[in-house]
Structure 1
């Protein structure tokens, strides 16, 4: 089976629609864990615990547990061909390292939620994020892809079917949610985490002791981060003469801000899964 997999800083997505948080713990939740995977004499609980703050995906200790969990949850087959994404700024320097790492870790006897299986990665390819989202489109148009992820925003300009210019901005949803959580905790003497901050942003309000409090500062935080992306986009790309396409988990967060400033801007259908759909297409071109 051919799988596209995005091991993001916020969540893991696959081309079959599997989506779970990029959290790994070696301690089980007292209320029970939904995803437990065992291999190499170790037990991991997926979707729980603390986030791996390492930006370099090749160095993440959580990489293998998340990868094999994604494969096991997405495919009933033993033998799988996998395309995994890397941020554009890590692609050239880390591509070979990850591919070599997986070549040595390509066969695992696992136990997923108490069911034994053997998983074998027969082919493995690393592909740049953002460009993967472009591959998911049935289009050969020139365009600038803006892929807003958990820790970074990747920008890629595709011209005449070739990748011409790229950039990475240190703005992502996790950074924003963490900033807002810290300010809320300081301002109201509460203790909320990133996931709670995300929920507050989506619902648009916060109640404390059954009273709605002022969180208007959130708009300023969002604007400040948007302007960082906009500055990079306007300085390094022909943003006002090319078609812009938003994708990634943070696309919806900034869609309105982009629409207010750029005429030719669209958001991809199901932007969260755009990269993995494209990764699968890359795999099909390589191996079918």
Structure 2
């Protein structure tokens, strides 16, 4: 089975439509705990705890999230995986590190008390943002286009002309960085909230951060424009979870932008298309 997984800093996503928050915490198992992942005699409560600050994905303990994503994406009778991972456009050097850790290896673990055994046969990596290009229609891919993939810690930028990639880089700073700014401002008013709590308060309307969103978006776009000659001559496509959160400031600053269909999953869907073309279905 070919499976594409996006080990995002904010969300984990797979080409099977699975999505969950990219955080977990190691815990001591209590007698009646049934909602844990057990790996190498350690226990993890998924979608709990703090978001990681590490930018380099190879330096994270990504295995609990990766194996949890595989288990949620595969039927019980699927035991062998050909894996495609998205990697920040400016950080492709970590590919070999990840491959050496998981390629050709068996993983035995438990999810919510159920035994799981998977073998990861082969691993490929693709630059984030580049993946989404392949989900566009053929006539769109032939144009001069620019893809902005807005994630949790980064914005991956890929420019194309006549179907060829001519520029790709990663702009540091994503949605978690924005939420950290909001947290600092909120706590300066006498409150005491971590980033995860601030996100909840934004979602339920307790905190209004539209001004922060506008400022953050403007700063990031200005930095990106400095690195792209004739920025305004490209057709702009946006994708990633952050693009949905920043719709209003993106349209206000850039004017006519286009959303890649199924923006939350465009990278993993594109990666699966690439893998099927290279490896066969």
Could you state the TM-score of these two structures normalised by the residue count of structure 1?
0.87
Q: Does residue 280 in structure 1 map to residue 266 in structure 2?
A: no
Instruction: Report deviation, 1:12.
Output: 0.6
Relative to structure 1, the CA distance from residue 37 to residue 29 in structure 2 (aligned partners, 3 Å threshold; closer, same or farther) is closer
Q: How many Å separate the matches in 1 of 2:132 and 2:34?
A: 29
Tell me the CA shift for residue 83 of structure 1.
0.4
Q: Return the alpha-carbon distance in structure 2 between the equivalents of residues 52 and 205 of structure 1.
A: 25
Which residue pairs with 2:96 in the alignment? 96
Determine whether 1:201 maps to 2:192: no
Alignment partner, residue 211 of structure 1: none
Q: Any gaps of 5 or more consecutive residues in structure 2?
A: none
Instruction: Determine the C-alpha separation between the residues in 2 that align with 1:112 and 1:57.
Output: 23
Where does residue 52 of structure 2 map in the other structure? 52
For residues 33 and 181 of structure 2, the distance between their equivalents in structure 1, rounded to whole angstroms, comes to: 29
Q: Which residue of 2 aligns with 1:226?
A: 217
Q: Work out the CA distance in 2 between the residues paired with 1:13 and 1:28.
A: 27
Does the 8 A contact of 2:213 with 2:249 survive in 1? no
2: CA distance, partners of 1:268 / 1:278: 11
Q: Does 1:256 align with 2:220?
A: no
**Shift in alpha-carbon separation, 1:114–1:167, aligned structure 2, 3 A:** same
Question: Cα distance, 1:34 vs. partner?
Answer: 7.5
- The offset of 1:223, in angstroms, is 2.2
For 1:282 and 1:255, the matched residues in 2 are separated by: 28
- The residue that corresponds to 1:5 in the other structure is 5
Indicate whether 1:236 and 2:227 are aligned: yes
SS at match of 2:265: helix
Deviations 1:9-67 (A, max 9, x none): 1111111111111112111698x878522232322222112222211101102x11111
Corresponding residue SS for 2:253: coil
Q: How does 1:1-288 map to 2 (within 5 A)?
A: 1-27=1-27, 35-61=35-61, 63-76=62-75, 77-91=78-92, 93-103=93-103, 106-139=105-138, 140-141=141-142, 142-187=144-189, 189-206=190-207, 215=208, 218-237=209-228, 238-288=230-280
Report runs of 4+ in structure 1 exceeding 6 Å deviation.
none
Instruction: Kindly provide the CA deviation profile for residues 163-218 of structure 1, in whole angstroms up to 9, marking residues without a partner as x.
Output: 2112222221101111102211221x222232332344345444xxxxxxxx5xx3
| 1:180/1:197 contact within 8 Å kept | yes
> 1:34/1:89 Cα in 2 relative to 1: closer, same or farther (>3 Å)?
farther
Distance in 1 (CA, whole Å) between partners of 2:18 and 2:196 is 19
SS, match of residue 43 in structure 1: strand
CA deviation string 1:237-257 (max 9, x = no partner) = 232111101111110222222
Unaligned runs of 5+ in 1: 207-214
Distance 1:5 1:170 in 2: 21
Provide the rounded CA distance (Å) in 1 between the counterparts of 2:17 and 2:146: 25
